[in-house]
Amino acid sequence: RRNEERSVRRPLVETVPADHRPTNAHPDSVLLKDTALSTISDRHALGTICEKTPSQRKSTKENLCPEMAPRRQESYQEPKSHQDTYKERSHQKQDLAPARNPDPPKKPAVQASIPRSISSYQYGKKLSIKGREYVILGTLGQGMSGEVYRVQDLSNLELKAIKYVNLARMDAEAAQSCLDEIKMLHKLQAPTVVKMFDHEVRNQSIYVVMEMGDTDLSRFLKSVAAEKRRLPLTMILYYWTEMLMAVKHIHDNGVIHSDLKPANFLLVRGRLKLIDFGISSTLNAEMTSVVKSTTVGTLNYISPEALMDVSTGDSPHQNTRYKISYKSDVWSLGCILYSLVFGNTPFQSYRTQWAKINAITNPNPMISYQLPSNAEQVPIILIDVIKMCLRHDPKARPSVEQLLQVQYISVAKNSGAPRPDIPSDILTKIRRTLDDDEWKKLLA
């Protein structure tokens, strides 16, 4: 019916004859006559003379008579409920109401991404150590009595790490151990040990500024395992040589680390550096071992002698005694090499703590040396080295210096051709200058 009514209506815009036009009218002007359309609400606008150019005529018709505008396709919408209608009217009333005491425009806030591992209160906080300022960017690690911050040195904009320890949260013996660790780290400074730039003790707190690594060996190995990959033989030999050189350095300086594991080897620009000397022991020149009153170390890498009490037990009041030596670190190195080759530690299959302790202290431990199906074949000498490191008797294990003299490269391939006798430290330097393809060609 609506379409029928529209068909009988007269045109809204009709051209006025020239003799009826006003004298001041534009030649292309049109006269809008009143057509008595019920759909037009502003009737007084009709019948007036409007000056329009030809390019504006179409818009004039659409504005004054929406029925003459082309119809647009609209998507179907659900009918509004009473609640939605009420909300819409409420918003309209709020828009019409005059604003009361409008707030001044706020300045846009500066936004920055804050690491999840650190609170917004700590992010951006400045630390001053020996007069040098550092700004906290994140947290690298946390413990019961301290944290390790990722910071930026404001003097040269270098990224560094600051180890913070709250001495008030520990007993006197543990606090003294932290102070001894600083002295030991200062004594052991070398390319194979994490670099310490400065430290300060104030208000029962310790702040140690160190170089920041890319990651530790444990996280790196986990990322490789997550991608269902294994380290190539060249990388295994490279990391093994790096670890041996680091441990030899501390042994030459009379220090037993006592907690060697992948997490305590830091990767810094491709080099492995030893960290965390919190439970290390110092030996004099004439000493070959040290006795501890408590078991120290990480169970998957701890040596049997560190778990076995050597006290006679004649008196019920006699304290336990655990005798460790440089060879205890060799056992731990053997566990690390085992994990590099086989993808897990020798006693990782034992789920309970006591079962694992019994397996470690067993004089004839049941250790599997069968390579996984997807593992690269390794030279027999590498398996033999693991077996020598994991001997139950500490005296039967080789020293770190002897492990460095083993010719791993010369037997990397079953070839009858003689190979040059190259020291391991020189091979390490050669490895740093070659990429993976060149290194493989060298081993071929």
Which residues are known catalytic residues? 259
The 8-class DSSP code of residue 411 comes to: G
State both tokens at 212: 């920041």
State both tokens at 137: 């960017």
For residue 31, give the nearest of 59, 8, 60 by alpha carbon: 60
CB of 424 closer than 8 Å to CB of 415 = no
CB of 162 closer than 8 Å to CB of 199 = no
d(Cα 126, Cα 135) in Å, to the nearest integer? 4
Hunting for tokens 């180890």 — which residue is that?
Answer: 163
Instruction: List Cβ neighbours of 442 (8 Å cut-off, separation of 6 or more).
Output: 430, 434
d(Cα 183, Cα 172) in Å, to the nearest integer? 17
CB of 194 closer than 8 Å to CB of 307 = no
What DSSP letter does each residue of 90-139 carry, written as one string? HHHHHHHSPP-SPPPPPPPPP-----TTS-TTTTT-EEEETTEEEEEEEE
For residue 241, give the nearest of 358, 373, 403, 115 by alpha carbon: 403
For residue 377, give the nearest of 220, 240, 218, 230 by alpha carbon: 230
Instruction: List Cβ neighbours of 131 (8 Å cut-off, separation of 6 or more).
Output: none
Instruction: List Cβ neighbours of 375 (8 Å cut-off, separation of 6 or more).
Output: 230, 341, 342, 343
At 20, give phi and psi (nearest 5°). Answer: -95, 0
Instruction: List Cβ neighbours of 324 (8 Å cut-off, separation of 6 or more).
Output: 256, 258, 281, 289, 290, 292, 303, 305, 306
Q: How far is CA 237 from CA 7, 121, 329, 340, in A?
A: 93, 44, 18, 10
The 8-class DSSP code of residue 306 comes to: G
d(Cα 394, Cα 328) in Å, to the nearest integer? 7
